[in-house]
Amino acid sequence: MAQTGLKSLTAVFDAVLARLRRHIPHGSVQAYAVALFCTGGATLFEAWLLWLDPKASPLAGYYPAVALTALLAGIIPGALVATAAILIVWWGFMMPVYSFSLERRGDVVTLITFAALSVLMIYAADYFRRLAKRLEDEEHLRQLAVQELAHRLKNKIATIQAIISVQLRDQPQARTDILARLQALAATDQLIEDANGRGACTRDIAETELGPYVASRVSIDGPNILLAPKYALTIALLVHELATNSAKYGSLSMPNGRVVLRSSMSDEVLRLEWREAGGPPVTPPTTRGFGLRLLSRALEQFGGGTEMVFEPAGLVCRMYVRLPADTKPTSLGHDGDQTLSTVTTQPATQ
């Protein structure tokens, strides 16, 4: 709990610093106001510290003041805070007080050490500030590039859909099937875009492809895995094929039909099981159409495979694919729960 709280505080502090850096331009009134505020705060802290313990260091509070000012406002305000700190401490806190004379040689060493360390802190803070600014600019450019590519992809898909609609106007079934598959890919592309190009989660894919049925006909169980874009698109297409086939010929074509989609992951292998029940009697098909060929071959490129069992109660399709080593379940629910709750309140029956 303590580590979690510390991480949360650190994240909040980093967010505040990032926001302040973006809103304090170099050489602005705000920058020098920050310097004045940090100098005044450090001086009050030093007066209070020396009141508690006259032997305390007269410069302890100025170190963070210099670093914070340089980080937020830049080199010149940070240097002004360091200079003001030396003059204030020299005049008001070192013997004899209220003069620029020094009785102790150690005080000279203290002031020189503070000046040298202040120079290092100022340049280190300024380097971090410039690095953070460059990273923010690069992230902004990356997001613009992702948005532009996503926009172009949507335009291309719309153009392809228009071409297919015209070319296959005399073949309505083929046209409908192809357009539906393109729409499934487009929906998954949108999920990937929403995740800033990182990919899409298994639950989001399932709910997107099974949206018309999830409320009362489908149960989705298992860990929520963030899939890289190429894996996400393939899994989305396979789930779409299964859902379409079930809506036409399987359990989703019947009022009491049910589907359970379960996922599990072990040793970097993602396993999905699609199980239907409550539909019409199932018999193995005599011919293999495009959908069956897609289901059987799509995962081979990733070292995976598909097994389809045509049980009398309904189709059972088991899929597996080996994912990259750094693939991890995403955290869901409360208290770090990483498993998906069943989407429906009425689970499928076998």
**Does 152 fall in a domain?**
no
Q: Are residues 111 and 203 in the same domain?
A: no
**Does 153 fall in a domain?**
no
Q: Are residues 8 and 108 in the same domain?
A: yes
Q: Are residues 133 and 259 in the same domain?
A: no
CA angle, 199 as apex, 266 and 12 as ends, to 5°? Answer: 95
24-33, 90-99, 109-118, 271-280 — which is least confidently predicted? Answer: 24-33
**Does 55 fall in a domain?**
yes
**Does 273 fall in a domain?**
yes
Q: Are residues 41 and 128 in the same domain?
A: yes
The residue from 120, 137, 154 where one domain ends is 137
Please tell me the predicted confidence (pLDDT) of residue 128: 84
Q: Which residues contact 94 (CB under 8 A, 6 or more apart)?
A: 58, 102, 104, 107
Residue 126 pLDDT greater than 50, yes or no: yes
Q: Are residues 127 and 230 in the same domain?
A: no
- Other C-beta atoms closer than 10 Å to the C-beta of 316 total 18
Chain centroid, CA 221 distance in Å: 23
- Residues 89-119 have pLDDT tens digits of 888 888 888 888 887 888 888 889 999 999 9
Q: Are residues 219 and 324 in the same domain?
A: yes
**Does 121 fall in a domain?**
yes
Tell me how far apart the alpha carbons of residues 304 and 297 are, in angstroms, rounded to a whole number. Answer: 9
Q: Are residues 216 and 132 in the same domain?
A: no
**Does 213 fall in a domain?**
yes
Tell me how far apart the alpha carbons of residues 112 and 86 are, in angstroms, rounded to a whole number. Answer: 9
Q: Are residues 245 and 130 in the same domain?
A: no
The residue from 88, 117, 137 where one domain ends is 137
- Residues 211-257 have pLDDT tens digits of 766 556 788 888 888 888 888 888 888 888 888 888 888 888 888 88
Q: Are residues 119 and 248 in the same domain?
A: no
pLDDT (mean) for 33-54: 88
For residue 341, give the DSSP letter. P
**Does 320 fall in a domain?**
yes
Please tell me the predicted confidence (pLDDT) of residue 349: 33
Domain that holds residue 288: 199-340
21-25, 28-32, 221-225 — which is least confidently predicted? Answer: 21-25
- What percentage of the chain reaches a pLDDT higher than 70? 75
Residue 146 phi, psi dihedral angles, 5° rounding: -65, -45
Q: Are residues 209 and 121 in the same domain?
A: no
CATH number, residue 316: 3.30.565.10
Sheet holding 339-340, edge to edge: 305-311, 314-322, 269-277, 258-266, 218-223, 339-340
Task: Provide the number of structural domains found in the chain.
Answer: 2
Please tell me the predicted confidence (pLDDT) of residue 133: 78
DSSP string, 194-249: HTTTS-EEHHHHHHHHTHHHHTTTEEEEEE-BEE-HHHHHHHHHHHHHHHHHHHHT
SS (HEC) of 114-127:
HHHHHHHHHHHHHH
Average per-residue pLDDT in the chain?
77
Q: Are residues 118 and 220 in the same domain?
A: no
The residue from 137, 159, 190 where one domain ends is 137
129-138, 153-162, 257-266 — which is least confidently predicted? Answer: 153-162
Please tell me the predicted confidence (pLDDT) of residue 229: 83
**Does 311 fall in a domain?**
yes
Q: Are residues 114 and 236 in the same domain?
A: no
